[in-house]
Amino acid sequence: MTRPPKRTIAPIFWLLFGAGGMLSALFGTGLVIVTGFLLPASPPSYQAAAAILHNPLAGLVALATIPLFFWHGAERLFLTLKDMRAGPRPLLALISYGAAAVGTLVTILLIFLMEFGS
């Protein structure tokens, strides 16, 4: 008799890892050039920056992008620390996935405040 394989929630983390990895592989280089080098070279006025970010579409893009970047890094960090035998597995998962979860909640809260706040 063959038992069905034990179910795990690992695919959820892999999905987030893959989505964040693909998004950053496609757009990451351009994003860093824009926000890290072009923006300080000729910064847009506050009104212009606020107008862009208060657009709900920009809020949605940021809401997708930033947490996915966090989850991508978290998965990489977790698997690498595990391979490095840096500590017990639950602790490593707590550190990496925990940081991504907190980052995601903060992102959701800040974007909510920006789009719907005073």
Partner 1 sequence: MSERRPYVRRQSRLWWASRTYRGYTLRELSGVGVAVYGAVLLAGLDSVRRGPDAYAAFVGWLSTPVAIVLHLVLLAAMLLHGLTWFQTLPKTMPRLIVGGQAVPQKTITNAAIGLAMLCSLALVIGALS
Closer to partner 1 by Cβ: residue 80 or 89: 80
Residue 111 and residue 51 in contact, taking contact as beta carbons nearer than 8 Å: no
Selected binder of partner 1 within 30, 56, 87, 98 (CB under 8 A): 30
Residues touching partner 1, count (CB under 8 A): 51
- Scanning 5-13, 39-47, 87-95 for contacts with partner 1 by CB under 8 A, the matching segment is 39-47
97 phi/psi in degrees, rounded to 5: -65, -35
Residue 31: Cβ within 10 Å count: 14
Selected binder of partner 1 within 13, 16, 69, 92 (CB under 8 A): 69
List of E strands, 1-118:
none
3-class DSSP state of 53: helix
Selected binder of partner 1 within 19, 24, 64, 93 (CB under 8 A): 24
Closer to partner 1 by Cβ: residue 12 or 61: 61
Q: Is position 117 an interface residue for partner 1 (rule: CB under 8 A)?
A: yes
- Scanning 1-9, 62-70, 87-95 for contacts with partner 1 by CB under 8 A, the matching segment is 62-70
The pair of structure tokens assigned to 3 is 């038992």
Q: State which amino acid sits at residue 105.
A: L
Rounded-to-integer distance, Cα 24 and Cα 83, Å: 24
